[in-house]
Amino acid sequence: MNWLTDIWWLPALFSGVLLAAITGPLGSFVVWRRMAFFGDTLAHGALLGITLGIVAEIDPVIALMLSSVILAVLLYPLQRTSALSADTLLGIVSHSMLAIGLVTLSLTDGIRVDLMGYLFGDLLAVDYTDVLWVAAIGVTCGGLMFANWRGLVAATVSQELASIDGYPVRKLNLMLVIMLALTVALAMKIVGILLVSALLIIPPAAARALSRTPEQMALIASGLGILAVLSGMAASFQWDTPTGPSVVVAAATMFVCSLMIRRS
């Protein structure tokens, strides 16, 4: 028998490490652009996509990605043109979509869903199909960020100056929110709807104290994210704690340590 299939926790390890590697640089842009609420809104709205996907008998992963991308494409320009402040609008949409998803799910007769798994994640339940999804999206997003790194950083610093320098700011912004939507959709199965933003925000926030350039921050954030996944899985095995929250606790511990380093 293939040794890969004998070690049941390898898919969780592979998918967690791959996801942490891509959320490092992507999460850095989330921190720089203050898009934490945007990621939360995508995660909460994806529950409705899961419900509709189950009703329509669509693969849950595809339903997650489609709903997240559609919501991101619709929401990003809306928050810029709305009379409400961005955080107010995102808060309204976030909680409304989560509530609508839960109500819709309760109305679907004969369909049983592991709601706790979607809310808090179930890293140890992933299989090699999930690993392939994470690898495909990770390579795609990583390649796009590498090819457009200077433009994305320039647009983050000043969209007006980036546009003057010839960068396609609107296309870069749209690409970024789509990459964020796809990553959030994949991260939901690992850390869940309620904790997905933590994986995007905490490692880059911790990396700030240890870096001097945007490139250093992105790389260190990936490393801290991978370390959080490994530490969280080890703690889950040792003390029989839920894996997704354990990963977030490990990342939060690193953030606290980074604050101590910054003060010293």
How far is 208 from 218, CA to CA, in rounded Å?
Answer: 9
Whether pLDDT at 240 is above 90: no
**Cα–Cα–Cα angle for 169, 149, 249, rounded to 5 degrees:** 110
155 vs 10, more confident: 155
Q: What pLDDT was estimated at residue 41?
A: 85
Half-sphere exposure of 115 (CA within 13 A, CB side): 12
Superfamily of domain 3-194 in CATH is: ABC transporter involved in vitamin B12 uptake, BtuC (1.10.3470.10)
User: What pLDDT, in 10s, does the model give residues 56-94?
Assistant: 778 777 888 888 898 888 887 776 666 667 678 778 888
**Continuous segment of H or E residues that includes residue 28:** helix 10-32
Q: Tell me the pTM.
A: 0.89
What are the structural domain ranges in the chain? 3-194
User: What pLDDT, in 10s, does the model give residues 92-133?
Assistant: 888 888 788 778 777 776 666 666 767 777 787 888 888 999
Cβ 53 vs Cβ 67: under 8 Å = yes
